[in-house]
Structure 1
Amino acid sequence: MTALLPETFRALRVRNFRLFAGGQIVSVAGTWMMVVAQDWLVLGLTGDSGTALGTVTALQFTPLLLFTLYGGRLADRYDKRMLLTITNLASGALALLLSLLVFAGAAGLWHIYAFALGLGLVNSVEVPTRMAFVSELVGAELLPNASALSAAYFNAARVVGPAVSGLLITAVGTGWVMLVNAASYGATVVGLRLMRSAELHRVAGGRTRSRVVDGLRYTVSRADLRVPMVLVAAIGLFGLNFQLTLPLLAKSVFHSDASSFGLLTAAFAAGSLMAAFATTARRGRPPARLVTGSAVVFGVLETSVGLAPSYAAAVVLLFLTGFAAIYFAQAANHRIQLGSDPRYRGRVLALYTLILQGSTPLGALLVGWLTERWGARSGFVVGGLASLTAAMVTVAAGRRHPRHTVRTGVPHGTVQKTREPI
């Protein structure tokens, strides 16, 4: 039956990847249910404080900023399947503890802060390990398709999770949503333990001595990697703060209930899902113009969300913005990943993860401060305009220096020079 899967889903022909994807769909849906419940609980405890919501986001992502590169080293040194088992069990235990506090009526803001920090510490190991593990599941040939499918199931869960969460919060409260999330991590653990170790594409020897600094030097030496990394940093800092801006837009601008908030989040995620499926057909490295062009479109659309005149208009614009956000992120990811020397790919992707997700704490605090002073719409307008500016600067730089000589070899060894557009 797996031989009949269309080319869009060709990575699912691999049994280990099917097990992984199935567990992830359940787990990620639970995670997005948790995000909605956590944000709703924070707003209820603080009287709709954007600063408090920004602090929660910052605490959750700060460990990624500090420890992701070291998490990548752990992924290179130890068995990735075992690391993922441990991290998912730890995340489930944290969610269970918070749910029990909510049921007991004892959950305070500092408990949510502590949970966010603990989850961030776990994710600093889980995220780079998970990204590196995909290549072990499917091998190099199917990696682009598996990467796109991973984004697809992530965003499919992102559609279902918030919508279900909004209904559950209205019906039974936030504690039950958090309990469901705690149980959802078990699906990933079961999938991991059912895998066949002999079918994993593991790299033999030599990786345990890989140094973080060598990966950094390699990336800096490559202009065609360095430029999209900088663009990802700018957009990650200013434009990708939807975990903060969406609940504020729903509650303080459109005065929505939990179900309507879930619909806004689901609209954004549905657009993201469509973009993820659109990128499954990609077989080669995307050009630099596609990366910058998608960034321009994203900046325009995010700005438009901040100016949306009605709830219905916001739903439509969030769908389009979600599409543009994931299309840009996937284009940048594939340009960086498929342009990297395989000897450095793991460390380059760890740096990409660090830049994309590690910039969130600073952006969350900044955008949270802006929304306190100028309202919830300012988070979208400023984020969109900053993203658009970064993209246009990159376009202008590319026109001035359309081609750069870059290195495709190691920083301290023999190098081969090629002509690569930035």
Structure 2
Amino acid sequence: MNVESKGTGVVERRLPTLFWAVSAAVFVSRLGSMAMRFAVPWIMLQNGIDAENVLMTMAAQAAPNVVSPWLGWLVDRFDRRRVMTVSEVSQALLVLISIPMLQGGHPLPVAGVLLLLGCGGVVSGLASDYGLIPLVITDERQLPLANSRYVALSQGAFLAGPAIGGVLVAADGANWILYGNAVSFLGSAAVSALLPRPAARAARGQGGVLLALRWLLAHRKIRTITLVLACYNLGVGAAQVYLAVQAESRWGWSSSALGVVLGVAGVSGMAGAWSAGRIWAAESYGRRIQLWLLICGVGAVAVGLGAVPWVVLPGYVLLMFAEGAVNVTSQVMRQMEIAPALAGRVNALIRCVVLGASPLSSLVVGFAMKSGTAVLHGLPIAVFTVLAGVALAMARRGEKGS
């Protein structure tokens, strides 16, 4: 299958009902998870756990990204519908178990539950993004449109979840967030369990993580996109933290003003994801990613070197819009290029490489901010983002038929 070829024929704009059912279920599940992520630190602080232990405990939920390739093997080994169902039910039970633990004031048991919840989140994400969506979209020409809607809804959950969590916490309803999250997991599990069986049984993934690594190393297009996005995250991974530091330390903003800006940027990211299937639709996927990264570079230069709010803030909004489109386009490219039997392991490996660059971004930007020259504080954000776009352009120039 040639992912880079341009589409032909008329593509049906109406997406299947099953697609909307899956998207709605994932949206509600992630909405509950993001609201819980807001509520858990607050509950822990209220029960006498100090801030340092709260931060260390919450880090446990992100730790499974390190072992995501092995979790990807699990997704490949079994029917994705069943994997999704079991994962969501397990997370619902873990949330219910966490409620008395949070009241106990002991961080270690809570960290253990959050670690398991993080594993479940990785498994569910891989199963839904690269298993269920291709399952319910039978015409692969609809994948760009379907993924733009799916990613936009997911980003909407990441945006609205903390806001809902904040309202409920303020109304003394923190525990209701946890109960609601458990219900959202069960609802998502019900939808995945009721999905029809695929017409042809997918081949079960054989081999381990090394097989996925060999596949990735042997496929130049996907390998290039992976390294380029890792380079991109090495710059942009710390952009939001950098913006928050600038707003508080240099511009004297309140937290509510910063919240409004981040909310606008979140909506911009949703808009970018929503429109990605329509803009430059006649171009190849590699070309689209290249163009969107060019726009990301413009936004990153404004964020990293702008210094004043009227330059930095529009740049950040533009950056989030283009990033939403990059996420959609790269996801479609992987869905079409990676064999279904390997989708879990290969995408988990890609996730590990790409997301693993984000923590490094904080270290790089933090090191730059220790320098005496204020104008250089955000330089890594601009440099690595522009470098990602240039690297992709050079790699594509060396490929025939790109």
Query: TM bucket by the smaller chain?
Result: 0.7 to 0.9
* Separation of aligned partners in 1, 2:397 and 2:292: 18
Code of the aligned partner of 2:137: V
Distance change >3 Å, CA 60–CA 372, structure 1 → 2: farther
Task: Judge conservation of contact 2:265–2:320 (CA < 8 Å) in 1.
Answer: yes
Code of the aligned partner of 1:269: G
Task: Judge conservation of contact 2:61–2:116 (CA < 8 Å) in 1.
Answer: yes
Equivalent residue number for residue 63 of structure 1: 64
Q: CA deviation at 1:79?
A: 2.0
The equivalent position to 2:229 in structure 1, one of 220, 228, 232, is 232
Q: CA deviation at 1:180?
A: 3.1
Distance change >3 Å, CA 172–CA 262, structure 1 → 2: farther
Q: CA deviation at 1:174?
A: 4.5
Q: CA deviation at 1:344?
A: 5.1
Task: Judge conservation of contact 2:159–2:266 (CA < 8 Å) in 1.
Answer: yes
The equivalent position to 1:354 in structure 2, one of 352, 355, 363, is 352
Equivalent residue number for residue 186 of structure 2: 186
Code of the aligned partner of 1:387: F
Equivalent residue number for residue 409 of structure 1: none
* Separation of aligned partners in 2, 1:248 and 1:284: 41
Superposition map of 1:239-258 within 5 A = 239-241=236-238, 256-257=254-255
Equivalent residue number for residue 137 of structure 1: 136
Q: CA deviation at 1:322?
A: 2.0
Code of the aligned partner of 2:79: D
Any idea what SS the aligned residue of 1:276 has? helix
Task: Judge conservation of contact 2:72–2:346 (CA < 8 Å) in 1.
Answer: no
Code of the aligned partner of 1:403: G
Q: CA deviation at 1:82?
A: 1.7
Any idea what SS the aligned residue of 1:281 has? coil
Code of the aligned partner of 1:121: C
Distance change >3 Å, CA 124–CA 27, structure 1 → 2: closer
The equivalent position to 1:328 in structure 2, one of 326, 329, 337, is 326
Equivalent residue number for residue 33 of structure 2: 31
Distance change >3 Å, CA 25–CA 379, structure 1 → 2: farther
Distance change >3 Å, CA 266–CA 374, structure 1 → 2: farther
Superposition map of 1:271-350 within 5 A = 271-281=268-278, 286-302=284-300, 304-305=302-303, 309=308, 317-340=315-338, 345=343, 347-350=345-348
For each residue in 1:52-74, what CA deviation from the matched residue of structure 2 results, as whole angstroms up to 9, or x when unmatched?
Answer: 75x567533332222x2222222
Distance change >3 Å, CA 193–CA 395, structure 1 → 2: closer
The equivalent position to 2:14 in structure 1, one of 7, 10, 19, is 10
Any idea what SS the aligned residue of 2:171 has? helix
| Residue 87 in structure 1 maps to residue 87 in structure 2 | yes
| Residue 155 in structure 1 maps to residue 155 in structure 2 | yes
Equivalent residue number for residue 172 of structure 2: 172
Task: Judge conservation of contact 1:403–1:420 (CA < 8 Å) in 2.
Answer: no
For each residue in 1:288-334, what CA deviation from the matched residue of structure 2 results, as whole angstroms up to 9, or x when unmatched?
Answer: 34323423432442454465645x98765543332122122223333
| Residue 381 in structure 1 maps to residue 378 in structure 2 | yes
Among all aligned residue pairs of Structure 1 and Structure 2, give the percentage whose two residues are the same amino acid. 22
Q: CA deviation at 1:178?
A: 3.8
Number of positions where the alignment pairs a residue of Structure 1 with one of Structure 2:
384
Any idea what SS the aligned residue of 2:69 has? helix
The unaligned stretches of length 5 or more in structure 1 are: 1-6, 405-418
Superposition map of 1:102-121 within 5 A = 102=102, 104=103, 106-107=104-105, 110=108, 113-121=111-119
Task: Judge conservation of contact 1:98–1:112 (CA < 8 Å) in 2.
Answer: yes
Distance change >3 Å, CA 342–CA 100, structure 1 → 2: closer
Superposition RMSD in Å = 4.1
Code of the aligned partner of 2:92: G
Q: CA deviation at 1:127?
A: 2.3
Q: CA deviation at 1:278?
A: 0.5
| Residue 219 in structure 1 maps to residue 216 in structure 2 | yes
Task: Judge conservation of contact 2:69–2:209 (CA < 8 Å) in 1.
Answer: yes
* Separation of aligned partners in 1, 2:375 and 2:111: 25
The range that moved more, 265-274 or 107-116, is: 107-116
Any idea what SS the aligned residue of 2:237 has? coil
The range that moved more, 232-241 or 341-350, is: 341-350
Any idea what SS the aligned residue of 1:146 has? helix
Q: CA deviation at 1:273?
A: 0.9
The equivalent position to 1:403 in structure 2, one of 385, 388, 398, is 398
